[in-house]
Amino acid sequence: MKKKTWALLCLSAILCAYLFMSALVIAIDPFQVYRQAARYLPPIDNTTQVYANAGIVRNYDYDSAIVGTSVTENFRPSQMSALLGGRFIKLCTSAGTAYNHALLLNLAFDTHEMKRVVYGLDVYSFIGALDKTGSKVPLYLYDKNPFNDVQYWLNRSVLASFLPRCLRAWGQTQDDSLRDSMYCWAGRDEYGEVALYNALFTAPVSVIPADKHVSAAKANLETHLIAYIEAHPETQFDIFFPPYSAAEWSTMLSKGNLEAMLTLRGLCYDLLSGYDNVTLYDFSVREDWVLDLANYKDTLHYGQWINDAIVEEIASGESACTSRSEIDLASEKLRGWAHEMIDAGGWVF
């Protein structure tokens, strides 16, 4: 056989192999980028989140969403739908930034008529650059360019791990219970005194300026959240400050960034409170929650019963924050708790 013929045969074989692998990924579609899985259980868990979200946000049936970081992963869409109306889905990103959340909001509004967004406002998520993500995101799955999906079709992990995983789950079909269980970590951890393992109660070595993050936070709020609020006045946005444990604010003080973070609470209120389709909630000083370590696995993360209670509070409409003075009074209480613990050198509640 001539060398040229041999080379052409090899190239043809390689091309056919690439085409076959691409067709296989498109047909089975492990991460539901093109259609919702009907013949297998999709690989949705905390390790596949940034891939799985791209399919969930596009192809699941919903008109309302919970958006946020890991502290929103234990919400139950079934409860939210029952108490708030609509049909909820989770659009959560562990350690997500404002940009992570905007990627999901953008696709949600592009593909669905959205009635309601419940948004967990972690101040940590708004202090980075506009294009910062919490972890590496396959942006090619979040855009409208079908040609760069080749990075999905020929992805080594997809071919070696997730296609076989889907095939092993063939014949198992998903139902609405997946909406509650996806990304949920409830029941895996201990709660109580163990929550203080990452707490700090020492005086700060240095303190960053109170306005350190204002510029970045303002840009993130305007670009990654307010843009959607303004573009969709028909959509109700319920935005809440999560109930971190009081020890988290002591830790901020110890690290020297407490005042900078408290400043952002006021900034968020000032920028968000003027919209008719926005209701703000501040759960940061719910003493029955944040002063009881039995509710926490670490200084940030609370048990699912708190997520359930937050939904009940939003549904009742009685816990809305209606003035800047409420935010300022709550911030003063957080500051007081933090200094009290630093002075005592430990948890005092």
d(CA 69, CA 93): 5
**Would you say the pTM of this structure is higher than 0.75?**
yes
Of all residues in the chain, the percent with pLDDT exceeding 70 is 96
d(CA 180, CA 316): 22
Q: What is the mean pLDDT of the chain?
A: 94
Q: What is the pLDDT along the chain (349 residues), one digit of tens a residue?
A: 566 666 666 676 777 767 888 889 999 999 999 999 999 999 998 889 999 999 999 999 999 999 999 999 999 999 999 999 999 999 999 999 999 999 999 999 999 999 999 999 999 999 999 999 998 899 999 998 988 999 999 999 999 999 999 999 999 988 889 999 999 999 999 999 999 999 999 999 999 999 999 999 999 999 999 999 999 999 999 999 999 999 999 999 999 999 999 999 999 999 999 999 999 999 999 999 999 999 999 999 999 999 999 999 999 988 899 999 999 999 999 999 999 999 999 999 9
d(CA 67, CA 116): 11
Q: How far is CA 337 from CA 260, 262, 333, in A?
A: 16, 13, 6
CB 305 within 8 A of CB 294: no
CATH 3.40.50.1110 fits 52-148+177-344, yes or no: yes
